[in-house]
Amino acid sequence: MRNDWQIIPMGQLCSISSGKSDTQDAVEEGAYAFFDRSRIIKRSSRYLYDCEALIIPGEGKEFLPKHFVGKFDLHQRAYALFDFSPQIEVKFLYHFLNYLCDYFPRVAVGATVKSLRLRHFEQLPVSLTTLSEQQRIVGILDEAFAGIATAKANAEKNLQNARALFSSGFGGSTQSEQSCWAMTTVAEIAKPQKGSMRTGPFGSQLLHDEFVDEGIAVLGIDNAVANEFRWGKNRFITPEKYQQLQRYRVHPGDVLITIMGTCGRCAIVPDDIPTTINTKHLCCITLNPNKCLPGYLHAYFLYHPLAQEFLAKRAKGAIMAGLNMGLIEELPVLLPPLKRQSNLLMLSTL
């Protein structure tokens, strides 16, 4: 920490108190905001505070602050920070508490439901600089988070547009035309050879300490998580190690699906890929070029209702803890002729 910063307990920078209301005090048509332990802001017919405040749940699994200005009601298991010292910019403290997101879970007490006590707030050490420097930092952070929110909203809008355009292409086809399309599976459109669907090396086949600074590249989740191929973290193995693992090589046009960590993301291996293998976190599919275009399977997996419904049912929810190659092999695919696949892809990229 720089010399012009100081450590001050949060109890010296603001007033801190828990609420007095209970769950039954929440009403749908209430005139005032009602904060309890959940992320959702409810409504109340009364208010206990009329000020600028930071509100933090007093029990649960996460203790993330909310910033609010005005009249609000507060649950007895939530805390409000208010009446701030002139030493501190409120939004600076808000960002500081978000930055220390692991502090409250670490100090919370209780075996089953974690709870916070007043002392946990009062004793929290706050790193404080001058007010002008705090305001400068807040300006930078607010601008950065606004940019992130805009990018996220645009990405979601683009995804919805692509999904709608891709689906509209199916809707634009006549029932007679679609009746001639094949209903198949991913396994049946893979190239008819051993290893056309594969995951990467498991366990002792590839240890972390076998990665080197340069050599044969190794693909992981980060290369497909954006639903398009991107180079990410540098992971390499030696040419000698590659000789043991070359059955896991990826090829131009292969379709990658993340099956561990952030699951259900999909990308296409670019044409200029060098000699590369994939990790166990990816399912790599080499398609039969006479049956299916990589771009079609990519778009179908991400956008088509049949694929989304199948994954939601079989994986028990859209946010999947893990996929497996067997599940992907069984994924039903409505397969038009190659020319129609190409036309559908053109629609989804308009």
pLDDT digits (tens, 9 = 90+) for 66-109: 999 999 999 999 999 999 999 999 999 998 988 877 788 888 88
Residue after which a domain boundary falls, among 139, 168, 203 = 139
Of the CA atoms within 13 Å of residue 228, those in its CB half-sphere come to 2
User: What CATH number is given to the structural domain containing 126?
Assistant: 3.90.220.20
The residues, ordered by sequence, that sit 6+ positions from 32 with a Cβ below 8 Å of its Cβ are 43, 44, 45, 46, 47, 71, 72, 73
**70 and 164 both lie in a single domain:** no
Question: Span 186-210, mean pLDDT?
Answer: 92
Its pTM stands at 0.54
pLDDT at 162 over 90: no
Q: Which residue has the higher pLDDT, 260 or 48?
A: 48
Question: If you average pLDDT over every residue of the chain, what do you get?
Answer: 86
The pLDDT tens digits of the residues spanning 211-252 come to 999 999 999 999 999 899 999 888 999 999 999 999 999 999
Is residue 128 domain-resident?
A: yes
**98 and 210 both lie in a single domain:** no
**15 and 119 both lie in a single domain:** yes
> How far apart are alpha carbons 60 and 77 in whole angstroms?
10
The pLDDT tens digits of the residues spanning 313-345 come to 776 544 445 688 889 999 999 898 898 888 777
Reduce the DSSP state of residue 221 to 3 states and report it. helix
Residue 147, pLDDT score: 75
Domain boundaries, position 336: 157-348
**298 and 164 both lie in a single domain:** yes
**177 and 128 both lie in a single domain:** no
Number of domains forming the structure of the chain: 2
Residue 51, pLDDT score: 95
Question: Span 263-289, mean pLDDT?
Answer: 94
pLDDT at 349 over 80: no
Are residues 184 and 335 in contact, defined by beta-carbon separation less than 8 angstroms?
yes
Residue 160, pLDDT score: 61
Amino acid, single-letter form, for residue 192: P
**167 and 268 both lie in a single domain:** yes
**284 and 229 both lie in a single domain:** yes
